[in-house]
Amino acid sequence: MDYRYSLYDALVSINVPNDKARAVVDAMEREMGTTLATKTDLDHLRGEVRQEIALVRKDLEILSGSVRGEIAGVRKDLELLSTTMTVRLGSMLVVGFGLTIAALKFFQA
């Protein structure tokens, strides 16, 4: 490891005793070996993330199909309600005009 020797040389050049410089380099190497991710770790993580993304995509496809079905159902219900409301409004207009004509004839007599 090239960084070990350059760190060791840097410590020795600033008058750190050899044994202490070696201890610092060893401690740093142990710490880096346990806390830093290796390329293998990152590749493994990348594979796991890809699997999770694939699962999320499948879930989204299922949900989007379900939502499309729900939207189609709501549209059918709205069409039915629209037709029903049109018939009711037309019926109320006919009754209203009939009552108006009856009231006019009643008051003219």
| pLDDT tens per residue, range 54-96 | 999 999 999 999 999 999 999 999 999 999 999 999 999 999 9
* Domain span holding position 94: 47-109
| Closest alpha carbon to 79 in 69, 87, 68 | 87
Angle at 52 between CA 51 and CA 54, to 5 degrees: 65
Pair (57, 77) in one structural domain: yes
% pLDDT > 70, the chain = 94
- Residue pointed to by tokens 């079905």: 69
What confidence tier does 36 reach under pLDDT thresholds 50, 70, 90?
confident
The pLDDT assigned to 52 comes to: 98
Q: Total domain count for the chain?
A: 2
3-state secondary structure of 43: helix
What confidence tier does 10 reach under pLDDT thresholds 50, 70, 90?
confident
Pair (59, 28) in one structural domain: no
pTM of structure: 0.50
- Residue pointed to by tokens 């710490």: 31
